Each structure stands twice: as structure tokens, then as C-alpha cells.
Chains A and B, each alone.
Chain A
Amino acid sequence: MTDTSNLVLEVKNLKTVFFTNSGLFKAVDDVSFTVSRGETLAIVGESGCGKSVTALSLMRLVPDPPGRIVGGSVTLEGSDLLALNEAGMRKIRGNRISMIFQEPMTSLNPVMRIGDQIVEAVRLHRNVSSKEAQTIAVEMLRLVRIPEPVRRAREYPHQLSGGMRQRAMIAMALACRPALLIADEPTTALDVTIQAQILALILDLQKELGTGLVLITHDLGVVAQTAQRVIVMYAGRKVEEASVEALFAAPKHPYTRGLMASIPAVPASGVAAQERLNEIPGTVPSLVRLPPGCAFAPRCKLAIKRCEAEYPPLADWGGGHLAACWRAAEVAEVA
């Protein structure tokens, strides 16, 4: 399915756990995926499904304590990040692998000038003078289409709008031309009109720089517009993986189908609006006390005895379409 020579990131059997007062829980449980150069992989799921922890695990920024990566491997451009020491990992962060966060309002240091924050990222990884780094910072701000980049570089975050701050974050993340960019809900906190601009910007820059992109979102609409491949996560596990086309054409997991059904449809003119949105009944189970079988079974209309007893393995349904469901074959027919 993917050309391995072009592989930027390969995650195998990643396991991240949290030690809490109420017990140990597996935030990321046995998750594997790959990202190729220039490819966009979307990770989709509800709040608390482990998508953000997956992203932080790739950066090795899971707060420890209480979290810890306990298994698997994360191979970026051929080197295993989990085997590196902290100093080695610092050389990778912000350099070969970068991250954009959800909250542009709080993700920039309020007492540092925008330009200086980008300069810092550049000088940590490039052997350039402060003046050259300044030039690079202004160029990056121009690249993310911030008007008057020279003036903006001298301003503080509070002088910029949310959209502008997210652009500045993107400029900072891409300043060292990383091989992989992780965008954790980059548009969730923004106005709808700005969301589309920021997404378009990320995709343009990705194409221009050939960066691999891991896009974390709960918005299937965003997935359809941007990604080539999708991973659906539920309760810390990967429950489905497919190309965007295959996933939207024929989802194999009832959870994925539920997510798609809960997207509100705009009624055609003249047609009465649907009164109530479709929702998936119930809530995500407590990760501390997961059932032995499929974690989604208690909320699943198709659940059978086996679902509650045994966890379904990821099965290949052809063309790299993986799904972890005992009744995957019936999902398409039922709904």
C-alpha cells in the first residue's frame, strides 16, 4: 500500500499508559501506522480516544509522571526515537518532527516577541547568526502569508488574532523544514472562516516542502478535504484504517459509521430539517476498566455475545483497509 523507501514515519505497536490514582490506564494501546513523504494521515476519534496522546508520544512529550511510553517503536527517517536519550530527542524535536497545537491563544509565549520565538526554534537546530535567524523568521512569516511580516515579527502574541497566531505557530513549526508535521486539532479553536484558510495553508506548505503530515481531528469533514489515509481510534486503540475514499465509501467499523452518521446534513431547500441529530448512544468507557472484549460493544447496535468476550483483531479487508470488528462484513448491509 505504501512505498517503504518513501517512508518518513513508522509507528509499531505503540503503547502509552498513565498511572493515576484510580489505576493504570492504557491511553494508547498497540497502535501502528506509517506516514510517507508528502502524505497526510488523519487520526480521528472522540475526545479521550487517545489521539492527542499518540501525537505527544511521537514527540516524546507525554507528561511523565503520570504518563509513560511502555512499548513499541517510533521510527522517524530510519532512527528509533524511543531509543534516543533526552538530548538526542531534543535535536529531533522542532527540527525533524514538529507539532502545531490546538490552542493558538495559549500556545505562544505571551512575553516573547513572535519573531524571537521563531528565531529560537531556528537557532536551536541551525548554526546561524542571530541576524540570519531573524531573516529566516521573517521569511517564514511571509511564507505563512502574514501581512507585514517585519512588523509582526516585532509584535507580541496578544497583538495578533487567533488565526494569525496559528499561522505564526505553523511558521515556527516549519522553520527547520521538518520531515514530519503533527497538527493536533489545528483549527478547532478558530472561527469557521479562518479554519478553511488555515487548513488550506497547511496543505499548501506540506505540498511545497514535501512534509509528512499527521492531522489529528474529530471532524470528518476536515478529513475528507485533506487526508489520503485515515485512522479511526476508539478507547486508545486503532479500530479502523483505510484510504479516505474507501473509508467514506464503505466504513467497516460500526463506530466509524456512527461518526459519519452524526455529521449534521444541510437539508436541501424545501425539505424539512431533520429534527434531531444522529448520535452514538452512551459514552466512551472508562479507560481504567475496559471490558475484555470490544470497547465499543456496549454502545454498538450490532454487538453480539462474542464482542463482549473477545477483542476483535484488525483484519485486512483488501487494499490496506483494516478494521477491528467481528461483524465488519455486516456493517455495510445493516446501516
Chain B
Amino acid sequence: MFAYLVRRLFLMLVTLFGISVVIFFLLRIVPGNIVDILFAAAGYVDPADKANLEKELGIDQPLVVQYLHWIGGFLRGDFGYSYVSEKPALQEILPRIPITARLAGLALLFSASIGIPLGVISAVKQGTRLDYTLRVVSLSGLSLPSFWLGLLILTASVAMFGQIPIFNPNPATWLEAFATYAVPAAAVGFRSAALTMRITRSSMLEVLRQDYIRTARAKGASDAAVNYRHALKNAILPVITVIGIEAAFLIGGLIVTETVFNIPGVARFLVEAIRWRDYPIVQNLVMLIAVVVVSANFIVDMLYAVFDPRIRYTD
């Protein structure tokens, strides 16, 4: 187990190194840097001023030097300064993380707490009208882009209540906080819930055919005990895998949803930073997201062993 963990952590580091290289160079391939953008906006170009500014920001140096400078800082926790606000990048990023984390957490919670039970019900009631209804709804969940669903929700709330839900940065009560995040989280989570439901359903259908399900019935177990205690526990592995992958996809959904709902989270901030070619913000933020995603995958792998005693990580 210990040897497995060490090997696994090493692989995670290799993955993160690869991601850092890709982020860094992709960002440099995008035409223009902050200086170009600033000077284009100002409307006149003095090459000397431009060179001065590039030198000041350090973007005149060779790419390899720039990369080493950045990654060294990242490892020490020194994220540099935002080109736009000129404040420390860490100070810009940190306060926005809890907002996005809450949104993402709530969206995942929705997807698991709605997707899994509906998937079980759909599998148990296979071929009934309820099953077909749930499958059509889930198909729509997979087909609707979250930003469009978000816009629909906003339009509908204007039509019905005459106002749109406004982001409340300092909710007083727990309920207020929930209300603030629930609608955008639902807009993002709908897709995940639909996917979770479909995977749960197909995995359950597979398990419900197994001999040990018949054994459980032969014991006199109730339908609920058979479906949840016996079947779901065996069917849950693919579902966990999908939820783990969805955790990564969620970031993509959040970028547009935060924009649509005007939420000052990390995701929308990232889009802004990309527009300004604010390298310190973009690089460090994407790197942090990568760390979260890689860790989520690691946690999923560990969860396998928790749910299935046949899986033991040994060498």
C-alpha cells in the first residue's frame, strides 16, 4: 500500500509538471501580450516605452527563463503580481476560491443526491413510463449547455418574478447562502446529475441481473434493501468514476455560469485574466485547478478500495 501511494504521488507530480509546461506555452502561443493590449487601447505606440514595460514585467526574457521563474515561484507559494491590478496574485485569487468552491461543491452534491437515486429508480422501474420520462429528462440535461440553461432560468425569473436573482456576497443566514448559490449550482449541476443518473441506471441494470441479488431476495430482503444495500453498493464504482471526471468538467461549466449569473468567482476571474493576458493570474490559477483535478482523481481511486473490498492497492 505504501509503495503504491509513493508511486501514485510521483505520477501525480509528473502529470502536474506536464500540465505546467502546456499551460505556460499555450499562453505564450496566444497572440499578443498585456503590453500589446494596453498600447493598442491607448492608440499610439512608442517602441521604446513598449520595450521598457515588457522589461519591467519580465516578458522580454527567453521563454525557458520565464518558465523557470514562474514555476519556482509557484512551488514557493510566490505567485507574483497581477499585471492588471498590480496586487499580489495570491491576494486576488484567494478570496474568490470559496465562492467557486461552494458553487462546485453544491453542483456536485446536486448531481450525486439527485442523479444516484433517480438512476436507481429508473433501473428498478425499467421499461415503465417513469423510466422513459426520467431518461428523456436526463437526455435533455446532457444536451442543454449550462450557460443556455442559465440564461433560460434568468429569463424565466424575469418573466415570473420581475427580477433576476442577484448575487449576495454576504449572506446573513445559512438559508440565504443556499439561495444565493442554489440556482447557478443547479444550472451547472443539471448536466452532471443527468450523466450520473444514466451511469447509475446502466450500472444498476447490470448488477440487478447478478446471482447475489437473487440470493438477497431468497433471504427475504425487501425491495429497498435489495436495491440499495445489495445492488447500489455493487453498482456505485462507475458512478464514482463519472462524478470524479465531472468534478473536472464542472470548472468549464462554471466559467460561463459565473459570467451569466454575474458571480465574482474564480472561473469568471480566469476569463477576465485571459483577456488581458495577465500571465501570473492565468498560469497560477490554472495550475491550482489542475492540482484540484488531479487530487480528485486520486481520491476517486482511493474510494474504489473503500467501496470494493476486492480492490487493494498493492504492488
Residues of A within 8 A of B (CB): 59, 61, 90-95, 98-99, 101, 103, 106-112, 120-121, 124-125, 156, 158, 169, 172-173
Contacts and interface: CB of A to CB of B under 8 A. Distances in A.
A4 B268 CA distance: 81
A110 B308 CA distance: 8
A124 B219 contact: yes
Contact of A156 (B217, B218, B309): B309
B16 to A, nearest CB: 33
18 contacts: A61-B218, A90-B220, A91-B220, A93-B218, A93-B219, A94-B218, A99-B218, A101-B211, A101-B218, A107-B212, A107-B215, A108-B212, A109-B233, A109-B234, A111-B307, A111-B309, A111-B310, A125-B220
Contacts of A158: 309-310
B230 interface: yes
A95 B219 CA distance: 7
Contact of A109 (B215, B218, B307): B215
A11 B167 CA distance: 70
B233 A111 contact: yes
A125 B199 CA distance: 34
Contacts of A108: 212, 215
Nearest to B236: A111
Contacts of A94: 218-221
A109 B310 contact: no
B67 to A, nearest CB: 47
B168 to A, nearest CB: 43
Interface in B257-282: none
B222 interface: yes
Nearest to B218: A99
B222 A90 contact: yes
B114 interface: no
B218 A59 contact: yes
B214 interface: yes
Main secondary structure of the interface of B (DSSP, over half): helix
Most A-side CB within 10 Å, residue of B211, B229, B230, B234 = B211
A110 B307 CA distance: 11
Contacts of B99: none
B308 A111 contact: yes
A90 B224 CA distance: 12
Interface string B203-233: 0000000111011111111100100011001
Contacts of A125: 220
B219 A109 contact: no
B211 A120 contact: no
A121 B308 CA distance: 22
Nearest to A122: B219
Contacts of B308: 110-111
Given A109-B215, A121-B220, 17 more contacts: A61-B214, A90-B222, A91-B220, A93-B219, A94-B218, A94-B221, A98-B218, A106-B212, A107-B214, A110-B234, A111-B234, A111-B307, A120-B216, A121-B219, A124-B221, A169-B215, A172-B219
A90 B218 CA distance: 8
Nearest to B212: A109
A7 B87 CA distance: 89
Interface string B299-312: 00000000111100
B310 A156 contact: yes
A103 B211 contact: yes
Contacts of A103: 211
Given A101-B215, A156-B310, A158-B309, A106 B210 contact: yes
Nearest to B233: A111
B309 A61 contact: no
A127 to B, nearest CB: 14
B217 A109 contact: no
A101 B229 CA distance: 21
A101 B214 contact: yes
